[in-house]
């Protein structure tokens, strides 16, 4: 039987899903990346308490849209019974699968790095590098542009390259960004360049890592796609929620704690992928 070349993604499991997840992941991460841009402009017309009024209004708008315009799309014969208990059992089964965790944990650590930057960058950029709230928002906007370019590049590259290869490329870029940030701050790269440049690489690498990790983790579990997606999302926010406050424990007088945390998370994602997941050569090869 003729086998397509390694760069041909036609027979690679998870490729159509990875292309779709590229769009989904773009929407998921663009919101926190562009939020500081909007927040900086809101602060021009209201005190900081006005931010919460804007958030409440957005929440009401989203709830109304979901209630009025988001019907159930799954056919009745495809729906599963069992409720919350069944979902918990499915998540437990996935959490015990090393192959699933080998894709889910690196993605969670990568997202944790972004949330760590969200938590600590305001203090670092505004208090240490003395940028204004408006410039701070614009710098976040650059990250959003980098993410948009990388996710769409991932969709295009999936036509020619394997999902697994693009996932690994994202991991390498992620680790390089974290290491570059730490070295840049330790060795005194002038201005904000030592922070902003590596962070853009980290964010752009997430455009390759996030969608492909989700597709690869869920492709062996098509019957548990919803539970698997929920578990991966929970892991991402759990790591981000735990890592962010840790940076604040070391104060806001130096950018080193932020750089150390992001370097550990990004390099840890690469390490977990290579060490924690058992090799299964035939599983993600074209067929």
Q: Would 191 be classed as within a structural domain?
A: yes
Q: Would 157 be classed as within a structural domain?
A: yes
Per-residue pLDDT, 98: 87
Per-residue pLDDT, 258: 87
Give yes or no for residue 109 having a pLDDT over 70: yes
CATH number at residue 205: 1.20.1250.20
Q: What is the pLDDT of residues 10-38, one digit of tens each?
A: 445 557 777 777 777 667 666 766 677 78
Mean pLDDT of 82-88: 76
Q: Would 204 be classed as within a structural domain?
A: yes
Q: What is the pLDDT of residues 205-249, one digit of tens each?
A: 998 998 899 889 888 887 787 888 889 888 988 888 888 777 766
Per-residue pLDDT, 76: 75
Q: Would 49 be classed as within a structural domain?
A: no
Q: Would 47 be classed as within a structural domain?
A: no
Does 3 or 135 have the greater pLDDT score? 135
Domain that holds residue 251: 15-34+97-276
* Structural domains in the chain (count): 1
Whether the model clears a pTM of 0.85, i.e. scores above it, the answer is: no
With contact defined as beta carbons under 8 Å apart, do 175 and 269 qualify? yes
Give yes or no for residue 83 having a pLDDT over 90: no
Give yes or no for residue 132 having a pLDDT over 60: yes
Q: Would 209 be classed as within a structural domain?
A: yes
With contact defined as beta carbons under 8 Å apart, do 18 and 158 qualify? yes
Residue ranges of alpha helices (H) inside 78-224 are 83-95, 98-122, 133-157, 163-186, 193-218
Buried b (16+ CB within 10 A) or exposed e, 194-205: bbbbbbbbbbbb
d(CA 250, CA 246) in angstroms, rounded, equals: 8
Predicted confidence band at 103 (pLDDT cuts at 50, 70, 90)?
very high
Q: Would 70 be classed as within a structural domain?
A: no
Query: Closest Cα partner for 196 from 125, 260, 120?
Result: 125
The CB density around residue 95, as the number of other CB atoms within 10 Å, is 13
Give yes or no for residue 147 having a pLDDT over 50: yes
Q: Would 71 be classed as within a structural domain?
A: no
């Amino acid at each position: 039987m003729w086998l397509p070349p390694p760069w041909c993604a036609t027979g690679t499991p998870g490729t159509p899903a990875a292309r779709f997840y590229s769009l989904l992941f773009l929407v998921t991460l663009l919101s926190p990346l562009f939020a500081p841009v909007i927040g900086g402009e809101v602060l021009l017309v209201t005190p900081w308490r006005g931010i919460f009024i804007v958030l409440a209004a957005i929440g009401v708008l989203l709830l109304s849209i979901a209630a009025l315009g988001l019907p159930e799309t799954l056919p009745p014969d495809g729906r599963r019974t069992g409720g919350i208990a069944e979902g918990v059992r499915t998540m437990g089964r996935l959490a015990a699968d090393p192959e699933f965790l080998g894709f889910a944990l690196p993605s969670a650590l990568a997202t944790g790095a972004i949330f760590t930057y969200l938590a600590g960058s305001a203090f670092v950029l505004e208090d240490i590098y003395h940028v204004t709230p408006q410039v701070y928002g614009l710098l976040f906007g650059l990250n959003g542009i980098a993410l948009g370019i990388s996710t769409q590049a991932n969709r295009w590259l999936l036509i020619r390259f394997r999902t697994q290869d693009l996932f690994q490329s994202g991991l390498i870029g992620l680790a390089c960004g974290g290491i570059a940030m730490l070295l840049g701050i330790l060795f005194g790269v002038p201005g904000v360049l030592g922070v902003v440049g590596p962070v853009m690489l980290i964010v752009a690498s997430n455009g390759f890592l996030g969608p492909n990790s989700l597709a690869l983790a869920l492709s062996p579990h098509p019957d548990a796609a919803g539970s698997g997606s929920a578990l991966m999302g929970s892991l991402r926010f759990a790591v981000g929620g735990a890592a962010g406050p840790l940076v604040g424990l070391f104060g806001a007088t130096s950018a080193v704690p932020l750089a150390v945390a992001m370097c550990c998370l990004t390099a840890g994602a690469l390490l977990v992928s290579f060490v924690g997941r058992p090799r299964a050569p035939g599983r993600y090869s074209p067929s």
